[in-house]
Structure 1
Amino acid sequence: MTEREPFRVRIKVRHYELDTLGHVNHAVYHSYGEVARLELMEQAGGLDGELQRQRLAAVLLESTISFRRELRAGDEVDVTCTAKFGSGKTFQMNSDIYKADGTLSAEIKCVVGLMDLDRRKLVTDPRGRFEQAGADLKLLCGEN
């Protein structure tokens, strides 16, 4: 069995995202990860529909980044995203940012929870809640 290609979105680096050194500002990398997370959640059915009716929403709890290679204006990057669920209230949504030539530019690791918007508390078994709401777990988790 081969591993499935993770979800990815293409983004073009814009001039206003640069810092004084002429490469992408560190905070922008986090924005690129957020774009990929939201696109994946939307396509997997995790932003609206049943989750929204149940007043549940994904919340970012932690985000760390490892920078590998600089990005400059005009570069096009592919940003991947994959969810990984465990047994607790939180799960991971990790992204890799690749230059068009395949060079790894950054790795982003995020801890996410599924929040009950009325109680303002994380729910248990977020994977199960996504599944019950009809989200596409194969797309969300990058499973075959």
Structure 2
Amino acid sequence: MSEREPFSVQIKVRHYELDTLGHLNHAVYHSYAEVARLEMMEASGALAGLRDENIAAVLLESTVRFKRELRAGDTVTVTCDGRFGEGKVLQADSVIFKADGTVSAEIDCTLGLMDLARRKLVADPRAVLERAGADLKLMSTTE
């Protein structure tokens, strides 16, 4: 287990994000993970570097496990921790924590990096991110 903390952002649950039961709509959990991913990629320098190379991150799969409900006015911390493996994909795992530290949800995402001219995934996303100047230590606690 890493001693470094994953990248995180804080988000306040807004009233219009609630469902008819009065808790956060299921789809919004995915949006919160997306906010954390994009903020992490921007902070790491990945977004600008990839844009210069005509490459963009694409979401291939997203799975959420709901643990505890969120309600309007709650402020949550959303983490994002990347993991690089073999092949064309990388993982971006997020956890949504309530203010008291309770886990509200866990979201696991599979991403690829698409060459926008060829409309194909790049073979080695870690190498492409590194070449684009991304701070991989900010993106992943295992780097």
Instruction: Give the TM-score normalised by the residue count of structure 1.
Output: 0.96
* Distance (Å, rounded) in 2 between the aligned partners of 1:55 and 1:2: 33
- State the match for 2:126 in structure 1: 127
- State the match for 1:19 in structure 2: 19
CA contact (8 A) 2:57 2:112 kept: yes
- State the match for 1:34 in structure 2: 34
- Percent sequence identity is 69
* Distance (Å, rounded) in 2 between the aligned partners of 1:53 and 1:136: 16
Matches within 5 A, 1:1-144: 3-49=3-49, 51-143=50-142
Give, as a single letter, the amino acid of the residue that structure 2 aligns with 1:22: G
CA contact (8 A) 2:83 2:142 kept: no
Give, as a single letter, the amino acid of the residue that structure 2 aligns with 1:92: Q
Give, as a single letter, the amino acid of the residue that structure 1 aligns with 2:124: D
The structural deviation recorded for 1:20 is 0.5
The structural deviation recorded for 1:142 is 2.3
The structural deviation recorded for 1:54 is 1.3
Instruction: Give every structure 1 segment of 4 or more consecutive aligned residues whose post-TM-superposition deviation is greater than 6 Å.
Output: none
Q: Which runs of 5+ in 2 are unaligned?
A: none
Could you list the per-position Cα deviations for residues 50-94 of structure 1 after superposition, in whole angstroms to 9, with x for gaps in the alignment?
A: x21211111101000000000000000000001100011001001
The structural deviation recorded for 1:39 is 0.1
> What is the number of residues matched between the two proteins?
143
* Distance (Å, rounded) in 1 between the aligned partners of 2:124 and 2:139: 15
Instruction: Give the TM-score normalised by the residue count of structure 2.
Output: 0.96
Q: Which runs of 5+ in 1 are unaligned?
A: none
* Distance (Å, rounded) in 2 between the aligned partners of 1:88 and 1:44: 22
* Distance (Å, rounded) in 1 between the aligned partners of 2:2 and 2:89: 27
Give, as a single letter, the amino acid of the residue that structure 2 aligns with 1:108: I
* Distance (Å, rounded) in 1 between the aligned partners of 2:78 and 2:11: 7
* Distance (Å, rounded) in 2 between the aligned partners of 1:2 and 1:42: 22
